[in-house]
Structure 1
Amino acid sequence: MSDQTLIAVPEDTQKPRLSWRELSTYFGPAFIASIAYIDPGNFGANIEGGSRFGYKLLWVLLWSNLMAMLVQYLSAKLGIATGKTLPQNCRDLFPRWLNILSWAAAEIAAIATDLAEFLGAALGFYLLLGPFMAAHGIGKTHVMLAAALLTTVFVFLILAMELRGFRHLEWTIIGFVCIIGLCYAIEIFLVHPDWGAVAHGVVVPHLDRSAIYIAVSMLGATVMPHVVYLHSSLVQPRLRTFERKRKTITQTADFRRRYLRFELLDVLVAMNGAWLINSAMVIMAAGAFAGLAAHGLEPVTSIEQAHQTLGPLLGPMSAVMFAVALLCSGLSSSTVGVMAGQVIIEGFLNIKFPIYLRRLITIIPALIVIAVGLDPLKILILSQVVLSFALPFALVPLIWLTSRTKLMGEFTNGRFARTAGWATVSLILALNVLLLWQTFTV
């Protein structure tokens, strides 16, 4: 293990209180995971949901976020308690055929995720640079291909931050989260939403037949299988730093307990921040686009159209903020997607795969979509539905493993965590069955 993958942590594990200074040392893993919850797939699903159904699906985001906080905490707990990632624990305890099946499902989810994230970043570059390049006679396809190359370069640069230390990469991702949040805070200020309707949409569930597909895509965009695998790896640098100093078993156990307390706070802050940003996306789309049909205008059906419509409705700043948020979302989440893919293949199959080569290979599907001229919004929403179907392959082993006393010891799930975990899996399976029934009976 290189020194770059280690993060300095306080050695005093007996402090009675949690200090803000110490807390800042531990904040990071959940923020890296949270960027996947505000990736371009969320833009697609949330814009579609807000523009078509107004504020009515905000409750989906609330309940999805509660599930996300639970599964991310369990993933972090597994990594802290065992010192191994979720895929590594699966490889140790499950038969080979099941690991291969789980790896295949995880890879499909990772590819679908990466496609959405890469397309989102390229689209962000296109929205910002497209008018300038169009003025010089450059067509949309060529602009998008140039944007894809720019995205590749920037993702490589972000990944290279880890060479300076993993903490630098964490702060880079946290910076992207803050920029996205700031952009949507400005959007909400400009759109002047109906806060009464917003509150009603958050607390009162409403789901008709026509909204099932979008609701499932919003769920798939909010609870992400690839970062369920990744989070168990993100907690390792601090744990390994402490263990590298050859502390006693008692000191290490005390550290794990304290680390888990900090990581719970990390999850609560990061995931709720992602929920607020997701909600802001729906609120912005509902406030800006939901009333277009009543005025005889075409509904918003693409991210590019959303960008073009925001300018006349809310002013040029709104369109710029939208594009900047999309770009930051795509760049950061694409980086996280590559990291997750690395954890998946190394954990399940014990295969070392160069992370930069993986990035180059996963560019190919996105380039095909761009070259063929497919609608990025439709691809984004479809990718989120794929993620929803892949979720049980990550959640079932996570809940089963974290409920095993022999593996987890004192960190074993209690009754509430087990019940909530299996209820989450059951709900996702039920929604997937409902979506299939709707698809094949229409």
Structure 2
Amino acid sequence: MTADADVKVEAASQLLASQSILKVLGPGLITGAADDDPSGIATYSQVGAQFGYGLAWVMLFSYPLMAVTQAISGRIGCVTGRGIAQNLRRHYPRWLLQGVVLLLLIANVVNLGADLGAMGAALQLIIGGSEIPYIVGFAVLCVLLEAFLSYRQYATVLKWLTLSLFAYVAVLFAVAVPWREALTRTFLPTIVLDAPHATALVALLGTTISPYLFFWQASQEVEEQLRRTVKPLYVTPSQSGSELARMTTDTWVGMGYSNLISLFIIIATAATLHASGITDIQSSSQAAEALRPIAGVFTFAVFACGVIGTGLLAVPVLAGSAAYAVCECFDWIEGLDHKLKDARAFYTIITLATLIGLSLNFIGIDPIKALYWSAVLNGVLAAPLMATMLLIATNPRIMGTLILGPAMQIVGWLATAVMLLATIGLLVL
């Protein structure tokens, strides 16, 4: 598709003119919202507390890189009718597939454990008691929702959970923000070249561009096609204009929503914690607790509730992306639209990933160190996986006539280079 950009823009205009935007939004919106998980909230809070508004610009810089990367993964799902791992299995060496899936599985399980722990700690802050039963309860709830709701019902639940991110909009307007300074530092940044700023930059990029999101969105686009009885686009390229427009609009809106909320969290914590001299925050629940004496009980409670809401959204995405990848690796039946008895391996992997993540909260592993190594694994995996996705998306044997246009290829390779440099920086620092 050589006139790719023109076709998509024209089709997107027609699509948005004829449909409600809420009907267009789906996998892209859910994927973007899931990126602001409790672990991500901890990162954004630490950056705001430590550097004030100094690194808020990173969220603007990362937005097009993140959106294009997710659009590439979504496009692979739409065009081929298969997820990332299944395309790797069909077209690339088996060692590459197995290595990617193993790293993804390890990183996801660690992230799952950290998110469940953060959710339990946040609920403990709100209602008191022991956090242990809360952590167990959240893990069980997430598994049950994925196992016993149909894809249509579950996608609806996840869509509504994206509204939990508005908690951080409420926080932003409940505190006194020096908007002139905040916006100036965001749009006219001052670049500081030292180890602390470089480390924070790497952490922000690693938090926003994460491999598990690639697998999730590609597989969810396939689920959407099955739900709407739409054939893969390589079979029906004549339908590609409207379908790719839907996916592209959904993705850019979803990633924009994600990055805007991340920016709000950085600004809110900069205006409160940093301004009050609190510069060391190591978890999302710690950030919520630190807000209580500074911004009031309302702000603290809303922030903590946001941690729980985003956790309920992110934990199933982490477990689900792992299950999609493993099942596609072995060509097992996979998908949330299958009943439990028809896709036992898929739901077993979701359950095991969640339970192993849960167990990390009880065996004395330092959650901050665990998150650090999870970030390292995601960083090691991100750049080569992004390069592989670009090779898939530009291969006519796989994509037919619907290969990536030049503009998306350029931005895609730029995003890959940025993540490679970020990974090298993380390992060096």
Normalising TM by the smaller chain, what interval? 0.7 to 0.9
Contact 1:311 1:318 in 2 (8 A): yes
> In the alignment, residue 298 of structure 2 is paired with which amino acid?
M
Question: For 1:436, what is the secondary structure of its paired residue?
Answer: helix
User: Greater CA radius of gyration, 1 or 2?
Assistant: 1
1:307 Cα deviation from its structure 2 partner: 2.2
Closer, same or farther in 2 for the Cα pair 1:243/1:298, shift >3 Å? closer
2:244 to 260, 278, 289: 260
Q: What does residue 125 of structure 1 align with? A: 123
CA distance in 1, matches of 2:233, 2:196: 59
Q: What does residue 338 of structure 2 align with? A: none
2:321 to 334, 340, 360: 340
> In the alignment, residue 150 of structure 1 is paired with which amino acid?
G
CA distance in 2, matches of 1:364, 1:171: 25
1:228 to 194, 197, 214: 214
> In the alignment, residue 254 of structure 2 is paired with which amino acid?
A
> In the alignment, residue 105 of structure 1 is paired with which amino acid?
L
Contact 1:145 1:367 in 2 (8 A): no
CA distance in 1, matches of 2:402, 2:136: 45
Describe the superposition over 1:329-369 as per-residue Cα deviations: whole angstroms up to 9, x where unpaired.
Answer: 11110011111111110122324563443344234554444
Describe the superposition over 1:121-158 as per-residue Cα deviations: whole angstroms up to 9, x where unpaired.
Answer: 2223222232xx2xxxxxxxxx2221111112321343
Describe the superposition over 1:247-302 as per-residue Cα deviations: whole angstroms up to 9, x where unpaired.
Answer: 9998x333332111111111121111111111111111111111233xxx674444
Question: For 1:235, what is the secondary structure of its paired residue?
Answer: helix
CA distance in 2, matches of 1:41, 1:417: 29
CA distance in 2, matches of 1:309, 1:22: 40
Question: For 1:370, what is the secondary structure of its paired residue?
Answer: coil
TM-score w.r.t. length of structure 1: 0.84
Q: What does residue 392 of structure 2 align with? A: 401
Contact 2:143 2:354 in 1 (8 A): no
Contact 1:118 1:148 in 2 (8 A): yes
Question: For 2:361, what is the secondary structure of its paired residue?
Answer: helix
For structure 2, the residue ranges without an aligned partner over 5 or more in a row are 1-10, 334-343
Q: What does residue 5 of structure 2 align with? A: none
Q: What does residue 195 of structure 1 align with? A: 179
Q: What does residue 134 of structure 2 align with? A: 147
Q: What does residue 421 of structure 1 align with? A: 412
CA distance in 2, matches of 1:96, 1:365: 26
Contact 1:120 1:329 in 2 (8 A): no
Closer, same or farther in 2 for the Cα pair 1:106/1:205, shift >3 Å? farther
Contact 1:29 1:231 in 2 (8 A): yes
Q: What does residue 339 of structure 2 align with? A: none
Q: What does residue 291 of structure 2 align with? A: 310
1:49 Cα deviation from its structure 2 partner: 0.6
> In the alignment, residue 83 of structure 1 is paired with which amino acid?
G
1:186 Cα deviation from its structure 2 partner: 1.1
Aligned 1:21-100 pairs, distance under 5 A: 21=19, 23-100=21-98
Contact 1:221 1:384 in 2 (8 A): yes
Aligned 1:173-252 pairs, distance under 5 A: 173-181=158-166, 183-203=167-187, 204=189, 206-207=191-192, 208-241=194-227, 243=229, 252=236
Closer, same or farther in 2 for the Cα pair 1:292/1:28, shift >3 Å? same
Does residue 172 in structure 1 map to residue 167 in structure 2? no
CA distance in 2, matches of 1:196, 1:239: 45
Contact 1:184 1:321 in 2 (8 A): yes
CA distance in 2, matches of 1:97, 1:149: 35
For structure 1, the residue ranges without an aligned partner over 5 or more in a row are 1-12, 134-142
TM-score w.r.t. length of structure 2: 0.87
Q: What does residue 7 of structure 2 align with? A: none
1:167 Cα deviation from its structure 2 partner: 2.5
Does residue 437 in structure 1 map to residue 421 in structure 2? no
Contact 2:80 2:232 in 1 (8 A): no
Question: Share of identical aligned residues, percent?
Answer: 21
1:107 to 105, 108, 111: 105
